[in-house]
Structure 1
Amino acid sequence: MEKLLFDQVVETDYGQFDLVWSRDGGFDGDFDRVFAGQNNGLVGAADPDGVYINLARRSGGSPVRIVLMDEPAMDDPSWEDVVEVSFALPEGHEMQWSTWAGANRGTLEGLPPGSYRLRVSATGRDQGHAGEFADHPVDAYLLQIRPAPPQPDSILRIGSEEARYWHREVGNRR
């Protein structure tokens, strides 16, 4: 089963896209805090109030699709970069999405409290970085959420230089 939670072009600044469930959630510029104990540099899940997703474009629109699944996603080689992280949505909280400084935001309905695994797949990160101010989408993201016990983050595929750069950044900070 797959339930669509979100599917639109997201206008971002500084490539920031957050999934949050508290007013304190969202990337605040503290890279070390958001990626503490992680191996990947694309999806920061160390914040107990949200998950930060690092989009390749500095500014502009990127298609983002979010689906809730009941089992692990099948491998799809058309996605260049793939990362998985775990997060827990606490009881009494509602999942929301937000961009830099809350410029754009909304609610993701249909995600009950619990422990989840989030797979973030991306394509076009190098084009997104090179065309960071392009007037049309050049990178795209698929976020697949499924119930699962907590596990360490994992890098499943690296296909772009832009992703390599961010993974090295996290590795160099440990």
Structure 2
Amino acid sequence: MINPTPPRLTERHEATVERVLFDEVVDTDYGQFDLGWGDGYGFDGDFDRFFAGQINGLVGAGMKAGLYLNLARRSGGSHVRVVSSDSEPTLDAEWEDVVEVSVTIPAGAASSWSTWSGEESGALALQPGTYRVRVSARGRDAGRAGEFDEGVVDFYLVEFWPAPVQPDAVVRTGSDDAAYWHREVGGRR
């Protein structure tokens, strides 16, 4: 029998265009990974300044010149992937810890990444604009516990997409390490 009622069509959504800007295992000290687009960026140890006015303890967006990512692994290799999307990406359940911040990259700025004290660095093809940045992590507890072990145990996804400025947000906390850093920042407010 043929169904006389045609199926209801649903609205088609354009797929999000994602550009991979960085996808590497980074060797760092003190868990420092910076993304910068202005003079003087890079975590200098002043936690209060980099996390000013924030509730999350994983991504310091208090400096206009860049972001400080607080990786769980003090030393050794952590896998970091940075992508830029044309719209908000889907939040994947595989990530234990997720925070979001907002940044504005000024016109003419050259974006780059670096590890502690600039030991490793490189260019990052981020265009000027105002972005929401989601940083997702898994393996933070393993990274903290096995910071000197061989192999990669902690993973990070940094996603940029155009969006108006909003306060930072803790979207999900699944590791003890992330909970610790959120309490540290929350206690400083």
Residues 40-90 of structure 1, C-alpha deviation per residue, up to 9 Å, x if partnerless? 000000101110000000001111011100111212111000000001111
Aligned equivalents of 1:168, 1:104: Cα separation in 2:
30
Q: Are 1:162 and 2:153 counterparts?
A: no
* TM-aligned CA deviation for residue 22 of structure 1: 2.2
* Structure possessing the higher radius of gyration over alpha carbons: 2
Aligned equivalents of 1:88, 1:12: Cα separation in 2:
26
Residues 10-64 of structure 1, C-alpha deviation per residue, up to 9 Å, x if partnerless? 1110000000112300111000000000000000001011100000000011110
| Residue among 16, 36, 60 paired with 1:20 | 36
Give the corresponding residue for 2:111: 95
Q: Are 1:65 and 2:81 counterparts?
A: yes
Q: Are 1:34 and 2:45 counterparts?
A: no
| Residue among 102, 110, 116 paired with 2:131 | 116
SS of aligned partner of 1:63: strand
Aligned equivalents of 2:147, 2:89: Cα separation in 1:
29
Query: Identity, % of aligned pairs?
Result: 61
Aligned equivalents of 1:112, 1:56: Cα separation in 2:
28
Residues 89-142 of structure 1, C-alpha deviation per residue, up to 9 Å, x if partnerless? 111111100110000000012x21110111000000000000011111110000
SS of aligned partner of 2:28: strand
Structure 1: runs of 5+ lacking an equivalent: none
Give the corresponding residue for 2:102: 86
| Residue among 45, 66, 84 paired with 1:50 | 66
Tell me which stretches of 4 or more aligned residues in structure 1 moved more than 2 Å. Answer: none
Give the corresponding residue for 2:3: none
Name the amino acid aligned to 1:145: F
Provide the aligned length of Structure 1 versus Structure 2: 173
Normalised TM-score (structure 2): 0.90
Name the amino acid aligned to 1:117: R
Name the amino acid aligned to 2:94: S
Q: Are 1:128 and 2:113 counterparts?
A: no
Name the amino acid aligned to 2:72: A
SS of aligned partner of 2:186: helix
SS of aligned partner of 2:164: coil
RMSD over aligned Cα atoms:
0.7
Name the amino acid aligned to 2:168: D
Aligned equivalents of 2:153, 2:22: Cα separation in 1:
19
